[in-house]
Structure 1
Amino acid sequence: MTQDKTNFTSQQDRLPPQSIEAEEVILGGIMLDPSAMSRISDRLSADAFYINAHKDIYQAALRLYSQGLPTDLLCITNWLSDNGLLFRIGGRNKLASLVDRTVSAVNIDVLADLVMEKYQRRQLILAGTEIVQLGYATETDLPVILDEAEQKVYSIASEHSASDLVHISHALADTFTEIEARHTGKGSPAASSGFYDLDNILGGGFRKGRLYVLAARPSVGKSALAGNLALNVAKTGKMPICVFSLEMSTDEYVQRFLSSESGIENNFLETGNVSDSQWQPLSVAIAQLSEQQIFINDESCPSLNEIRSQVRRISSHYGGVGLVIIDYLQLMALDTDSRVNMAQRVGEISRGLKRLAKDLDVPVLALSQLNREVEHRNDKRPVLSDLKDSGAVEQDSDVVIMLYREEMYNPDTPDRGIAELVVRKQRNGPTGTVKLLFDHQFTRFKNLSRGRSF
């Protein structure tokens, strides 16, 4: 009996995980009851079989099934014979013995899951062997090695949930359930931003698998708004938030969180000029913030591989991630190939972040700078063409939000303390403008209008 010769040389004294009996019952079952094939064809691959002869037999069954032909003993025998494989699998007697030993196909679903589990365990052993070899590849940068090693294990864990064609009837049922949940207020597939009007225009908030871009000129408050969004999503969604701050340190981000939560001006915290009456709210804010699952990385130039790896670890440990924030795009691009112009580098980063959002099923909010052209117009409200360095950012993003404060250009404006969030692009929804209150001394944004249901 020939078994799978996948390289398990480091474990020669131990038999790799397998269930030959389960494999035999599955093969006997689909020949005894060809209708059983429909229950396992999309969940059990031929590679999952440990015995090579079993792989050939199951592959024959898959070919017949795909052609709408029965997988009974006669059809499988003829297919193997016509393709020169009958002798290799042990002849007609091998097939007949599989049928004779099988009582029914009633438990074929459970057995298929068992065979797949054993296969994944063998794949894990193989990945471990390959990771050992990666460790010796000293000519390759360590971050690249670590990401490749992590990806090998992650691919095994996610193999069972690979995407497949979905019949519209199933998609309609899921969509109706989501609409009904939103209508009754029992749930939303989006992570609430904490700002009513912004949630309204975004269809509930930040949605998984989408890339959001928040753009503004320097000092307008995009990092402050990103911090507010991180805290709001963490509170309302009860999910981890990953913040990659390439510009501010972790201490600076945390200090802004404390100012916003405690109601103590940021400059007081910066100088340590805290009054006796302020220590109590500061302590309460620290206790409340400690309960939030917010993770901050202030490495100056993390690579896309490093970001993907860290988000993947948080997602695996906590069962998902509510929001990933990148502060900001152009700084990430500085650490990429200097032989390529900045526009191309920013484009590569934006495409990588879009892939990250889809692959890890998380919403990604990337902050971006705007070019100086906006300063030379009468109306300083930014437009899509103001995105700095790359039109690819506009193309890759699902939503582009531009932050504008009239008081930055007109100190005497009656709109002092008002921030405009101008949604210039939304792939699956409307565009428009949302107004928020901006309390600069506490680096805090607030709802301007009362919440509306959506």
Structure 2
Amino acid sequence: MKSEQTIGTMPQLCLAEKALLGSFLKENHLLQDTSILPEHFAEGRHRLLLRLMKKIHSQSRAVDSVTIALEGDPEIFGGLSYVQELLSYANPERYESYEDIVLEDWKQREKKNILTLAVKEEWAMDRVISALQNMNQAKINDHRSINDELLAVYDDPWCEAKQPPTALSGIAQLDAFTNGFQDGDLTIIAARPSMGKTDVMLHLAKQAGWQRYLPVIFSLEMPAHNITKRLIASTGGFNRAKMRDPYQHLTEAQKNHWSTVLGRLNETEIQLFDGSSQSVPMMRAKLRKMIHEFPDRKPIVFIDYLGLITPNDTYGGNANQQIGEISKGLKAMAKDFNCPVVCLAQLNRSVEQRQDKRPSMSDIRDSGCVEQDADMMILLYREKYYDRSVKNPALELIITKNRNGPVGTAHAVYNENTGEIKDADHQRAI
């Protein structure tokens, strides 16, 4: 929001500082992530309070009004009532924007201080420039020297390469094209409604979980209990119609298999968020929390689906601009958290008008910048979807964009009754 990016008055800055401190109190793990230092705050008591909070957190203790009272003198901060009041300003989902506000204001203050001191002490111009550059390094850690990069690859021709781990799909032909889902990559999986894209997503999430990744699913369309039923049905090979009342409809053999299926699914550690109105900043906040709760697992994010993500701006109702903002946000999330992000998308009706109904990238609804931002695009096609007389359960995964490899079509088998995905040779995946 514009007002949050341009700081002109102390009340605005004070609110941002309060919101940051409140967010730290509410979500202690943010103290480990933040680049904000006590000296970045304009208000003295906020500097003292952040210094104390960081000290308590460094001792692996909970940061709250009790530990603050025990460790310091609350009267310095305005009393415990003020510490409690800070919680009312907490909004961890907007934490990054508050950081930007505080840092930007600190930079403006520092710039004035540097220029004032430079005039007073008659600094040389190179000293002024150096001081300003050092100030601007706050929250900038993306610098790489070519010397260091070349040194890192110097021995590569004589050493066997260690391939970075990737989240394999368990579909041999797809993995041959992609070598799995890569860290920092945004993948878009698009299809017409009821083509099977949610089942594909759940298949990929299970495979990733069984490979010790942490699958984080943002289901904006389907509630968590329905997602859970789908996972059980596809894993156990149960007809989804029976999942409406397992007691009545499952056979004795299936009931005996039930606990094994649930145990197998439990190993995936899938995390579900099924709020209907979620923005990219909200997802980032929830993902950050999951990373701290499961430090031994690399996250992989799945989102169902692109068109339901809430944009930060309405852009006057311009859907292309809204989707463009969201796709850029998803790519930034993949890069910032260094994890794969897989997002489902709908195809528009134009595909239905063609003789060959296999989709192309231009069929993505309100595509905007999606084609540009995505590292990989996979479009789903089933002949049986358009001709119910066809008995072939084949599912085509058409890779139309792949920054890390070739494009082409991978084949799998889809059971629309159970939601199970198998390899093209009808073998179960991992």
TM over 0.5: yes
Within 5 Å, give how 1:4-153 maps onto structure 2.
9-10=44-45, 142=91, 144-146=93-95, 148=97
1:341 aligns with 2:318: yes
Distance 1:12 1:243, change over 3 A: closer
Contact 1:178 / 1:189 at 8 angstroms: preserved in 2? Answer: no
Question: What is the CA–CA distance in structure 2 between the aligned matches of 1:260 and 1:431, rounded to whole Å?
Answer: 28
1:361 aligns with 2:335: no
Distance 1:446 1:215, change over 3 A: same
Matched position secondary structure for 1:191: coil
Contact 2:311 / 2:326 at 8 angstroms: preserved in 1? Answer: no
Q: What is the CA-CA distance between 1:159 and the residue it aligns to?
A: 6.7
Per the alignment, residue 180 of structure 1 pairs with: 161
Contact 2:93 / 2:285 at 8 angstroms: preserved in 1? Answer: no
Distance 1:329 1:315, change over 3 A: same
Question: What is the CA–CA distance in structure 2 between the aligned matches of 1:174 and 1:313, rounded to whole Å?
Answer: 38
Question: What is the CA–CA distance in structure 1 between the aligned matches of 2:347 and 2:266, rounded to whole Å?
Answer: 34
Q: Aligned letter for 1:372? A: R
Question: What is the CA–CA distance in structure 1 between the aligned matches of 2:223 and 2:165, rounded to whole Å?
Answer: 32
Deviations 1:61-109 (A, max 9, x none): xxxxxxxxxxxxxxxxxxxxxxxxxxxxxxxxxxxxxxxxxxxxxxxxx
Per the alignment, residue 108 of structure 2 pairs with: none
Per the alignment, residue 258 of structure 2 pairs with: 282
Within 5 Å, give how 1:158-169 maps onto structure 2.
162-167=142-147, 168-169=149-150
Distance 1:437 1:172, change over 3 A: same
Per the alignment, residue 249 of structure 1 pairs with: 223
Distance 1:260 1:335, change over 3 A: farther
1:418 aligns with 2:401: no
Matched position secondary structure for 1:316: helix
Matched position secondary structure for 1:435: strand
Per the alignment, residue 183 of structure 2 pairs with: 208
Deviations 1:303-329 (A, max 9, x none): 111100111122233235341001000
1:194 aligns with 2:167: no
Within 5 Å, give how 1:365-404 maps onto structure 2.
365-404=342-381
1:218 aligns with 2:193: yes
Matched position secondary structure for 2:345: strand
In the superposition, the TM-score normalised over structure 2's length comes to: 0.67
Matched position secondary structure for 2:184: coil
Contact 2:413 / 2:426 at 8 angstroms: preserved in 1? Answer: no
Question: What is the CA–CA distance in structure 1 between the aligned matches of 2:387 and 2:47, rounded to whole Å?
Answer: 76
Which has the larger Rg?
A: 1
Structure ranking higher on relative contact order (CA contacts 8 Å, 6+ apart): 2
1:308 aligns with 2:292: no
Contact 1:143 / 1:305 at 8 angstroms: preserved in 2? Answer: no
Question: What is the CA–CA distance in structure 2 between the aligned matches of 1:341 and 1:427, rounded to whole Å?
Answer: 29
Q: For structure 2, which runs of at least 5 residues remain unmatched after alignment?
A: 1-37, 53-57, 59-67, 69-76, 103-137
Deviations 1:95-153 (A, max 9, x none): xxxxxxxxxxxxxxxxxxxxxx9xxxxxxx9xxx9xx8996597x89465455568999
Matched position secondary structure for 2:153: helix
Contact 1:333 / 1:346 at 8 angstroms: preserved in 2? Answer: no
Distance 1:241 1:178, change over 3 A: farther
Distance 1:279 1:5, change over 3 A: closer
Q: For structure 1, which runs of at least 5 residues remain unmatched after alignment?
A: 18-116, 118-124, 183-187
Contact 1:350 / 1:396 at 8 angstroms: preserved in 2? Answer: yes
Contact 1:246 / 1:301 at 8 angstroms: preserved in 2? Answer: yes
Matched position secondary structure for 2:288: helix
Contact 2:279 / 2:310 at 8 angstroms: preserved in 1? Answer: no
